[in-house]
Structure 1
Amino acid sequence: MTRKTAVVICPGRGTYNATELGYLARHFPDPALLARFDTLRDGQESLRDLDGAASFQLSRHGRGDNASALIFAASYGDFLSLDLDVVAVTGNSMGWYTALACAGAVTPEDGFHIANTMGRLMTKAPGGQLIHPHMGEDWRPDPARKAGLLSSVTEIASRPGHALALSIDLGGFLVLAGNDAGLKAFETATPPEGRFPMRLANHAAFHTALMAPIAAEGQSLLPESLFQTPRLPLIDGRGQTWWPGAQTPAQLRAYTLGTQVTEPYDFTAAIRTAAREFAPDVFVLTGPGTTLGGATLQSLILSNWRGLSSKAEAQAANPLLSMALPDQRPLAGAQS
């Protein structure tokens, strides 16, 4: 029987929460590899202790140095558990580091080292993030609304002492990042919609120019020797594909530790490329968490994938497998 083709999507920060506590104990398939990951966290709390804690603490588990390591390990463990024909790999934001390992552009240990190092550096990064929708509850595209929100961002960023920019184009949401003055100005200028605009806890001004010092420090700590040409096609945060053998390790490092740290991450474009260039049977969302599912379906709507134009149509056609859901995990070939 021919196996289904799949594009693997690795999640970013904010996906390991209270319901994910114990995810590694339940699902990680290679205890020896997990032990090697913990060895790389010299002087830091072990993944086993974090994952095995009696209760979830946002100040502990959600902090950059811990969250990045937990999410990388959970996501990469799910990738190892897959039994599908993976045709390409992508990710959202921090998920790019996991995608590198899944695609073979770094070893699992080096990918973990990169994610752990950048997560540790992010604990001292400036600014913050908030998230706000540009689609309605029916998920129908509204380009004018999106343009209006981005116009407001540009106007606020022009004010003295205000930093604000697009951080992640996330399906039907805009993730914005900046300093406190910029974020507060957007919150004041934007009519509330339920819980939005919503600040994201333990997040810095990721994917903006404010991260330039973090990018420079990461480059000083993470050499080119960690990188190699990928074995699988790898779709980045611009929607561009890194084909096996087509780029150099130096180019991959420059993007990973430079461009994607300081420039906006376009998850919507990544999914558009995945759908149009690779046309998989399924899109597999690795754990932890399930929150990226909505953004992926919204991105497929915005890409006009198979003519989808609304939430009802996308959910009816649902091409996603979420490995964090017990009933869907076996469909991806995972045994646990």
Structure 2
Amino acid sequence: MGGVAYVFPGQGAQYVGMGTDLADAVPEAADLYRRASQVLDLDLLELCRTGPEEALQRTENTQPAILVTSLACLEAARGHVPPPALVAGLSLGEYTALVCAGALAFEDAVWVVRQRGLFMQEATAGREVAMAAVLGLPAEAVERVCEEASELGVCEAANYNAPDQVVVGGDRAAVEEAVRRAKAAGARRAVLLAVSAPFHTRLMRPAAERLAALLETVPIRDAAVPVVANVDAQPVVRAADIRRRLVEQVASPVRWAQSVARMARDGVGTFVEFGPGTVLSGLVKRCAPGAATHHVEDRASLAKTAASLAWAGEGASQEERSRA
């Protein structure tokens, strides 16, 4: 099996109904929603259960909802999956990974990602911006396309999701030009995304500055498990290094493909995704084709993952084992 990594999804994975199957069955999972609701002054479990979708899609709601849902999935899986050698998360998911690794307290993470969502949303308010996914071109070709399109405004690579999948973002006119140029260069697909801001580009620098000030007020501890950082795909443990990378992450590209490759080089052969959907599992297979992937988002997927990994951890009670 090799080493195990836990991975956590970012914004875009959300859907109405996420997490509720496990919250209804596992009291510890439901308790996380209760605690988060107190922090947010919002019934988060009800928002996840019934929406409405427009409310769930608002960045300031989406980010805490995905974080809490992912941690609820992790809580439900305790005793059923091997402990991780490394943890990582895509964008917002990095905060989930930090809670998992003991570097961030749960309530602090819930509050920070709510504020982070607001900061990112407000950074380009009133500006015509966009993001687009480019599939079927190597990263270097996408970077060239962005450089050429930059005559019309900011256009940068924002997410290196897989060797042949890069998300770009910036000013709308420049991003639309990048889409045209990518298609002309032979991209299999190049499409605008339904997002509200150009995340992980230089246009997010105002958000990064506000986040830096906020994080100075939040306790961050050394991680008990190395967290592979989005900004440079390096495993991080020290609190000061974590804090700096969280600030840099907002206005820097997410190097997910490089992060998965790094984990595979470090001996990880099994990736377990906790949270809504299976987007990361699909990306892992493209970045590390020999790796095994599993996911936990409801009771059925938990049972399947537990059976596949055949794990009954030390300290897991009979009741915990029976949940799978």
State the TM-score bracket (shorter-chain normalisation).
Answer: 0.7 to 0.9
Pairing 1:197-208 to 2, within 5 Å after superposition: 197-208=190-201
- Find out whether 1:251 has 2:252 as its counterpart: no
Secondary structure at 1:132's aligned position in 2? Answer: strand
| 1:195–1:75 distance in 2 versus 1, CA, 3 Å | farther
Letter in 1 for 2:270: V
Q: Residue in 2 aligned with 1:64? A: 59
- The reply to whether residue 169 of structure 1 matches residue 169 of structure 2 is no
CA distance in 2, matches of 1:267, 1:27: 32
Residue aligning to 1:285:
273
Give 5+ residue unaligned stretches, structure 2: 312-320
Q: CA deviation at 1:4?
A: 7.9
Q: Judge conservation of contact 2:18–2:49 (CA < 8 Å) in 1.
A: no
The residue that corresponds to 1:315 in the other structure is: none
TM-score, normalised relative to structure 2: 0.83
TM-score (normalizing by structure 1): 0.80
Per-residue deviation at 1:62?
1.4
In the alignment, which residue of structure 1 is the partner of 2:316?
none
- Residue 241 (structure 1) aligned to one of 204, 216, 235: 235
Please give the alpha-carbon distance, in whole angstroms, between the structure 2 residues aligned to 1:18 and 1:47: 11
Match of 2:48 among 31, 46, 51: 51
Pair 1:226-2:219 in alignment: yes
Structure 2 residue matching 1:101: 3-state secondary structure: helix
Name the SS of the counterpart of 1:188 in structure 2: helix
Q: CA deviation at 1:324?
A: 2.7
Task: Identify the residue that residue 296 of structure 1 maps to in structure 2.
Answer: 284
Quickly say closer, same or farther: Cα 1:27–1:74, change in 2 above 3 A.
farther
State the alpha-carbon separation in 1 of the partners of residues 210 and 13 from structure 2: 26
Q: Could you tell me which of 192, 196, 206 is aligned with 2:189?
A: 196
* Structure 1 consecutive aligned stretches of length 4 or more whose deviation exceeds 6 Å: 192-195
Q: 1:241 to 1:224 in 2, by over 3 A?
A: farther
Question: Is the contact made by 1:27 and 1:77 (CA closer than 8 Å) also made in structure 2?
Answer: no
Q: Deviations over 1:63-88 (max 9, x none)?
A: 10111111001111122233322111
* Cα distance in 2 for residues equivalent to 1:195 and 1:17: 27
Cα gap change, 1:269 to 1:22, in 2 (>3 Å): same
Cα deviations across residues 201-224 of structure 1 (Å, max 9, x unaligned)? Answer: 234111111111011111222325
Contact 1:12/1:94 (8 A) holds in 2: yes
Q: Is the 8 A contact 1:21 1:56 kept in 2?
A: no
How far apart, CA to CA, are the structure 2 residues paired with 1:52 and 1:233?
A: 33
Partners of 2:203 and 2:7 lie apart in 1 by 27
* In structure 1, C-alpha distance between the alignment counterparts of 2:74 and 2:2, rounded to whole Å: 15
Corresponding residue for 2:109?
111
Taking the aligned partners of 1:23 and 1:204, their CA distance within structure 2 comes to 31
User: Given the superposition, is the C-alpha separation of residues 228 and 63 from structure 1 closer, same or farther in structure 2, using an over 3 Å criterion?
Assistant: same
Q: Does the CA-based 8 Å contact 2:205-2:250 persist in structure 1?
A: yes
- Give 1:38's aligned residue: 37
- Tell me, in whole angstroms, the C-alpha distance in 2 between the residues paired with 1:252 and 1:122: 19
State the Cα distance separating 1:56 from its structure 2 match. 5.0
2 CA distance for matches of 1:228 and 1:147?
37
Q: In 1, Cα distance between the equivalents of 2:196 and 2:287?
A: 23
Distance 1:26 1:292, change over 3 A: farther
Counterparts in 2 of 1:268 and 1:182: CA distance versus 1, 3 Å:
same
Q: Which whole-Å deviations, capped at 9, do the CAs of 1:263-291 have from their partners, x for residues lacking one?
A: 111001111111111x2342001111112
Question: Whole-Å Cα distance in 1 between the matches of residues 94 and 276 of structure 2?
Answer: 15
SS in 2 for 1:226: coil
Name the structure 2 match of 1:265: 254
Aligned residues between the structures: 298
In structure 2, relative to structure 1, the CA distance for the partners of 1:290 and 1:325 (3 Å cut) is farther
Cα distance change, pair 80–326 in 1 and its aligned pair in 2 (3 A): closer
1:130 is matched with 132
Q: Describe how 1:93-108 pairs up with structure 2 within 5 A.
A: 93-108=91-106
Deviations 1:156-195 (A, max 9, x none): 12x1x41100101001310111111111111232328999
1:13 to 11, 14, 20: 11
Q: 1:274 to 1:6 in 2, by over 3 A?
A: same
Q: Deviations over 1:75-130 (max 9, x none)?
A: 11122233322111001111111111111111111122221221122222323321
Contact 1:63/1:123 (8 A) holds in 2 = no
SS in 2 for 1:198: strand
Question: Identity of paired residues, percent?
Answer: 22
User: CA shift at 1:325, angstroms?
Assistant: 6.4
Taking structure 1 as reference, are residues 101 and 300 closer, same or farther at Cα in structure 2, changes over 3 Å only? same
Distance 1:15 1:195 in 2: 23
| SS of the residue 1:170 aligns to | strand
Q: Give the whole-Å Cα distance in 2 for the aligned partners of 1:27 and 1:320.
A: 24
Q: Structure 1 residues 251 and 282 mapped into 2: Cα distance closer, same or farther (>3 Å)?
A: closer
